């Protein structure tokens, strides 16, 4: 694996099919500086291309998942400079990943950190997690999906409240709002998240990828074209060996043996 400075990568789980990416700038509460994002994009692209990996988990540490964009790095950015260098363009590597990405959030997930969690497909949180979009406190607004993805998770009134106040919400509230799907004790979070990834990893990787792409349509298009996309992918599964194997195994009362074909 490439030598990373701002993240740590590992492959975990009983079958060694879960990629684990840990954000690793603990002294800066994992603030998302440019070099970190380049490394994160590279790691996600590599794991997406690796057939032995079923799903990817992104985590931080107990104090912080990530406390946002690196304020010290961007404080002297300019409007024209942001345009010229395409500030934040590296984020697209994460949304382009075909495999499931699960965020395991302990501690702060603020600003870009909350947006990174929302870019993932599933968010699990530890009991002490804190989410927020505090950009308004420092004279800017969310820049990596906070004004667009957050309302899709929690609705307009709650999203407005979070974005306009900069207030933090705790894990229990985030679960009630539907921002996170489950909350665990701090020391159980990572193990439970890896279990979820392993469970996903028991299925056909090809079909998992199609299911992920179909659910994402619900966030990216109209109901009518989303349903059309779903139907064509659903029909499409009938062209795969894994669909045939799954149904045969059910009828023959045996476990399926998926081939990613
Ligand atoms: N950027 C740079 N450094 C940070 C950041 C950050 N976002 N957050 C914390 N740090 C640093 C602190 O400066 C401090 O460093 P030092 O020891 O050198 O002074 C160290 O991390 C520890 O932080 P604190 O001493 O502040 O720790 P506390 O426990 O007292 O407070 C908080 C924790 C409440 C999380 C506090 O650190 C805080 O408010 N951080 C900033 C949160 C924030 O405003 N985030 C939004 C940033 S803007 C943003 O994300 C825009 C999104 C654009 C797209 C995303 C691009 C990647």
Concerning whether 115 is annotated as a catalytic residue, the answer is yes
Residue 2, pLDDT > 80, answer no
Residue 170, pLDDT > 90, answer yes
What percentage of the chain reaches a pLDDT higher than 90?
A: 95
Concerning whether 172 is annotated as a catalytic residue, the answer is no
Angle between helices 205-220 and 223-237 (to 10 degrees): 170
| CB of 23 shorter than 6 A to ligand 1 | no
From the candidates 112, 126, 146, 201, which is the catalytic residue? 112
Look at residue 190 in the predicted model and tell me its pLDDT.
Answer: 98
Segments of the chain assigned E as strands: 7-12, 18-23, 55-59, 64-66, 101-105, 108-110, 122-126, 130-132, 169-170, 182-184
Residue 67, pLDDT > 70, answer yes
Concerning whether 112 is annotated as a catalytic residue, the answer is yes
Q: Which residue's CA is minimally distant from atom 53 of ligand 1?
A: 143
Q: How confident is the model at residue 1 (pLDDT cuts 50, 70, 90)?
A: low
Q: Among the residues of 156-222, which ranges form H helices? A: 156-165, 171-177, 189-200, 205-220
Closest by alpha carbon to 214, among 233, 197, 199, 200? 233
78-126 per-position pLDDT tens digit:
999 999 988 888 888 899 999 999 999 999 999 999 999 999 999 999 9
Mean pLDDT for 129-145 is: 97
Mutate to test the pocket of ligand 1, among 33, 36, 71 (most ligand atoms within 8 A of CB): 71
Q: Which residue's CA is minimally distant from atom 35 of ligand 1?
A: 67
How far apart CA 116 and CA 114 sit, in angstroms, is 5
225, 255 Cβ separation under 8 angstroms = no
Average pLDDT of every residue of the chain: 96
Mean pLDDT for 51-77 is: 97
184-196 per-position pLDDT tens digit:
999 999 999 999 9
Closest by alpha carbon to 129, among 178, 179, 183? 183
| CB of 151 shorter than 6 A to ligand 1 | no
The token pair at 97 is: 């990943």
CATH topology of domain 205-251: Lyase 2-enoyl-coa Hydratase; Chain  A, domain 2 (1.10.12)
Mean pLDDT for 149-176 is: 97
CATH code linked to domain 7-200: 3.90.226.10
* Bridge partner residues of 122 (DSSP): 102
Residue-range domain boundaries for the chain: 7-200, 205-251
| CB of 69 shorter than 6 A to ligand 1 | yes
Look at residue 88 in the predicted model and tell me its pLDDT.
Answer: 85
């Amino acid at each position: 694996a490439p030598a990373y400075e701002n993240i740590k990568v590992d492959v975990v789980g009983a079958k060694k099919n879960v990629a684990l990416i840990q954000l690793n700038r603990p002294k800066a509460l994992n603030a998302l500086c440019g070099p970190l994002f380049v490394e994160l994009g590279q790691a996600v692209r590599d794991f997406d291309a690796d057939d032995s990996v079923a799903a990817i988990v992104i985590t931080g540490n107990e104090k912080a998942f990530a406390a946002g964009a690196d304020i010290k790095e961007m404080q002297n950015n300019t409007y024209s400079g942001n345009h010229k260098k395409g500030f934040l363009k590296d984020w697209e590597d994460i949304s382009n990943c075909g495999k499931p990405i699960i965020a395991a959030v302990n501690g702060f997930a603020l600003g870009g950190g909350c947006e990174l969690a929302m870019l993932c497909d599933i968010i699990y949180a530890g009991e002490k997690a804190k989410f927020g979009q505090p950009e308004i406190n420092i004279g800017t607004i969310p820049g990596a999906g906070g004004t667009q993805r957050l309302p899709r998770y929690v609705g307009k009134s709650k999203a407005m409240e979070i974005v306009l106040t900069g207030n933090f919400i705790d894990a229990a509230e985030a679960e009630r709002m539907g921002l996170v799907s489950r909350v665990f004790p701090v020391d159980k979070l990572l193990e439970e998240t890896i279990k979820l990834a392993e469970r996903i990893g028991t299925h056909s990787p090809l079909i998992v990828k199609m299911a992920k792409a179909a659910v994402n349509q619900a966030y990216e298009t109209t109901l009518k074209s989303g349903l059309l996309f779903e139907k064509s992918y659903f029909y499409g599964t009938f062209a795969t060996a894994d669909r045939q194997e799954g149904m045969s195994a059910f009828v023959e009362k045996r476990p399926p043996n998926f081939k990613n074909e």
